[in-house]
Copies of this chain bind each other. A is one copy, B any other.
Amino acid sequence: MIEFELTKEFRDRFQQALDDRDEFFIRKSLENVKAADIASLLYEFTSAEAYYVMVLFPLELQSEIINDLDPDVRKQYLKHFPPATIATFLNQLASDDTADILHELPIKEREEVLLSLDTELRIQVTELLRYEPNVAGGLMAKELIKARIDWTVVQCIEEIRKQAESVSRFYQVFVVDEHDKLLGKVTLQNLIISEARKKVADIYEEDIVSVQTYDEDVHVVEIMKKYDLESLPVINVHGQLVGRITIDDIVDVITEQAEEERQIMAGISEDVEEDDSIWRNTRARLPWLLIGILGGLMNAKFMGLFEGELARITAIAFFTPLIQATGGNVGIQSSSLIVQSLANPDFVDEGVWKRLVKVFFVAILNGLFLSLIVLGANILLFDEYTLSTVVSIALFSVVVFASFIGTLTPLILNRFGFNPALAAGPFITTTNDLLGLTIYFFTVHLML
């Protein structure tokens, strides 16, 4: 294996070579380096510099690198080329990758590139462009090997020979009838070890899992993970084989979903990375910070209503951070457990009520434990009995209420088609801050 490690030293040396237009060094240093590594190297330079490097490579490698680039870098980069040249790159790629890249282009350019594609690829891609990127149809590739059930093993191998050039990776041959209806599969190893005269009908496995073009990506991920598949056929409403999804696409979907969820939980509202511009980083953070600020102002206004009480017993104010932080923590915990089980729905859903009953008991246990500890600590630290009791009663109630809100919010968001992970971020913290304050001051008002 050619190990390529992107170091600061190499980057700086490469920058030097770019400044000097040192074509020899550039060619030499990138010899035998893989497309994915060249793509990460090119991120370090301007798109004009990347252009200078790229045109030194053969067309096939250029296409591979373009395919490996990040969508936003690729968009900038492709601006250097006319539609006809972009089409020559895409002609080297698989139909699903081509469709993804076309999706990123402005609509006018997309049409122009599409017209310049090789006929077969154009037909395939035109079909793929009809699907949303987040359904099976948008994930699938058209390249696949299929065999008719009445063929012999020899015919089958002949077909693979014909198609092997256009299909970059295949794991099995899909078996169809004369109307292209999916019937089953023959694995490659089965094909290799079968006698040439045998019929496909004799060696194929009927037992095959498939998805419909309109099935959502999360469903596709679930199926492929559950049944441990490396390749999944996609059928249309007539049961006809129209494409296949491979496991590497699913790895990308899983990674993207996890990243999206983390950003939502962290209150970041755009797909942003640390190395994006300062302005973009700022913009991605502001919306949720503003919502937090709005919550904070409401907190202030609300506390203002109790100014009399606060003036009378200043110590009331000491415990708002404790109450609010606990409410926030409990809320995030509860909602994140619900988000997790919504993502793995592989059990009988007992319904909202059973969930709430369970949440109630967990909350009671946690609440009792925490409020007793706080009661003891407060009496030790502040030597004050009444206020300490009030704080513990409020704390207990906040734990219970925050658990309910943390449980219900993701369920409600999910029901109305929003991402339930929204409930595991600043949204729930802001809500629970207000809730905590209300409960606390209400208790204070009643008891002091």
Residues of A at under 8 Å CB distance from B? Answer: 1-2, 6-8, 11, 32, 34, 36-37, 40, 43-44, 157, 160-161, 164, 167, 169-171, 188-189, 191-193, 207-210, 224-228, 230, 247-248, 250-252, 254-255, 257-259, 261-263, 265-268, 272-275, 278-279, 281-282, 285-286, 288-290, 292-293, 295-297, 299-301, 303-304, 307, 310-311, 314-315, 317-326, 328-330, 332-333, 335-341, 344, 346-350, 355, 358, 361-362, 365-366, 369-370, 373-374, 377-378, 381-382, 424, 426, 429-430, 433, 437
Contacts and interface: CB of A to CB of B under 8 A. Distances in A.
Given A296-B325, A322-B293, A210 B267 contact: no
Contacts of A250: 251
Contacts of A36: 226-228
Contacts of A344: 273
24 contacts: A1-B208, A1-B210, A40-B346, A160-B189, A171-B171, A188-B188, A225-B252, A230-B248, A247-B251, A267-B332, A272-B337, A274-B358, A278-B365, A286-B366, A289-B333, A289-B366, A296-B321, A299-B321, A300-B319, A304-B318, A314-B317, A321-B324, A321-B433, A328-B328
A226 B247 CA distance: 14
A6 B303 CA distance: 50
B296 A322 contact: yes
Given A274-B337, A348-B7, A282 B318 contact: no
Closest 8 A/B residue pairs (Cβ): A296-B322, A266-B336, A258-B258, A317-B317, A299-B321, A300-B318, A274-B341, A282-B365
A45 to B, nearest CB: 11
Contact of A160 (B193, B290, B424): B193
